Amino acid sequence: MRPQNIGFVSTRFAGTDGVSLESAKWAEILWHHKHVSYWYAGKLDRHPDISMTVPEAFFGHPENLAINKEAFGRMRRSPDLTRRINDMAAMLKRTLYDFVERFNIDIMIAQNALTIPMHIPLGIALTNFIAETEFPVIAHHHDFSWERDRFSVNSVADFLQMSFPPSLPSIQHVTINTPAQQDLAHRKGCPSILIPNVIDFETPPPEQDEYASDFRTEIGLTEDDILVLQPTRVVPRKGIEQAINLLAQLKDPRYKLVVTHESGDEGDDYLNALIYQAEQAGVDLRFAHTRIGDHREEGPDGEKIYSLEDVYPHADLVTYFSIYEGFGNALLEAFYFKKPVVVNRYSIFITDIEPRGFQVVTAEGILTDRVINHVRKVMDDAEYREAMVEKNYELSNLFFSYSVLRRKLRALICNVTGSDDLEAD
């Protein structure tokens, strides 16, 4: 069996969002087994020789934003909106044919493009392309429309039913957590393979080098300070207010809360509320997104920009008070860098992570004396803390490592080729 040309398709493959990161991991595993990956999206940071950028496929393209503005938050759609969706879908479908022909694609992997309706025309384009060609497609689902309140009131229910996701015989569906797998079967009658998000736990994190050694001092911390890391964007579902409450109740000025990412596309109201809350509670809250990027580089004023991997080793504690997560990449990252974590028991943690036996400080939506006292024990008892993080790394290597992804991808590719061409290492 010759190596397969794999075509990844989404609205964006760039930066550190979950879809981009997990897609890169899939491509890495496939590359190890001689399969070559090519990329199609509206925004790309992949090499141009192996990618095809179609600006209209980006969810932030002006025409798509205009479509979404009319599609959601109302029940009736205009004939003009129907026409605009169909016209854009037809144009994008032509580019999908071009992509497959240009790179001689054998198998397509749709990354969330048939899942969350951030780009309705692209989903329709993919659905029509697959229906017309019976092309073998792996649909990797990260966030379904029914999991997001903002999509519940809409004028495009027919399009959502058709394409998010479609039920076509040449599509193999992949979900990232148990509730999503169950919902997909119940709502659409589609079976799926569950592939959790993974990290290369088989390869321990590298030793800290000189470049990253000064991160704490660069953001104004002293040796005695305790760095509490909030490795998320500043959006309400991340529950950052609870991290502020935690530090307020610990009543120790050495604790500093450092948030790694910025607000994103949901405005600054939540950010401003957090700043006010921290000021009122006397908590030292620092937003470090101007010093943390996708990779190491020099900032506009000559200052160092650190990668997220540079930052984790400096953390003394990680807070993860998320209300909802599709899986929880930041949680796995904390396990990878062997950091103790405080976790709100969000639904996917309860179903897919907690039963494995991970040892974390858990909260139930509110902070209790139990939570505060457990945090104090973790921070004061080095032996207890070391046993906790080592156990978490060991379990992660069993359940959320590249070996898991390797086995699952082997089955998916074999279903297309009829050959077990992703043999175990």
The arithmetic mean of pLDDT across residues 342-346, rounded, is 96
Percent of the chain with pLDDT over 70: 97
In the block, residue with structure tokens 């207010």: 241
Q: How confident is the model at residue 403 (pLDDT cuts 50, 70, 90)?
A: very high
Number of other CB atoms surrounding residue 183 within 10 Å: 17
Q: How far apart are CA 297 and CA 54, in angstroms?
A: 27
| DSSP-assigned letters across all residues of 5-36 | EEEEE-SEE-TT-HHHHHHHHHHHHHHHTT-E
Q: How confident is the model at residue 424 (pLDDT cuts 50, 70, 90)?
A: very low
The arithmetic mean of pLDDT across residues 6-18, rounded, is 91
Which pLDDT tens digit goes with each residue over 277-310? 999 999 999 999 999 988 889 988 889 999 999 9
Strand 297-298 and strand 292-293: pairing? unpaired
Q: How far apart are CA 193 and CA 177, in angstroms?
A: 10
Percent of the chain with pLDDT over 90: 87
- With a cut of 90, say whether residue 401 has pLDDT above it: yes
Q: What is the pLDDT of residue 405?
A: 95
Q: How far apart are CA 177 and CA 327, in angstroms?
A: 7
- With a cut of 90, say whether residue 245 has pLDDT above it: yes
The arithmetic mean of pLDDT across residues 165-186, rounded, is 97
CATH number of 211-399: 3.40.50.2000
Strand 5-9 and strand 36-41: pairing? parallel
Question: Tokens representing 309?
Answer: 């991997």
Mean pLDDT of the chain: 94
Q: Mean pLDDT lowest for which of 72-76, 77-81, 386-390, 415-419?
A: 415-419
Which pLDDT tens digit goes with each residue over 311-335? 999 999 999 999 988 888 899 999 9
Q: What is the pLDDT of residue 125?
A: 98
Q: How far apart are CA 117 and CA 152, in angstroms?
A: 11
- With a cut of 80, say whether residue 262 has pLDDT above it: yes
The arithmetic mean of pLDDT across residues 64-90, rounded, is 97
- With a cut of 60, say whether residue 126 has pLDDT above it: yes
Which residue spans of the chain are classified as CATH 3.40.50.2000? 5-198+402-417, 211-399
Q: What is the pLDDT of residue 425?
A: 41
Provide the whole-model pTM. 0.89
Q: What is the pLDDT of residue 265?
A: 58
Q: Does domain 5-198+402-417 have CATH number 3.40.50.2000?
A: yes
Question: Tokens representing 64?
Answer: 């798509």
Which pLDDT tens digit goes with each residue over 42-59? 999 999 999 999 999 999
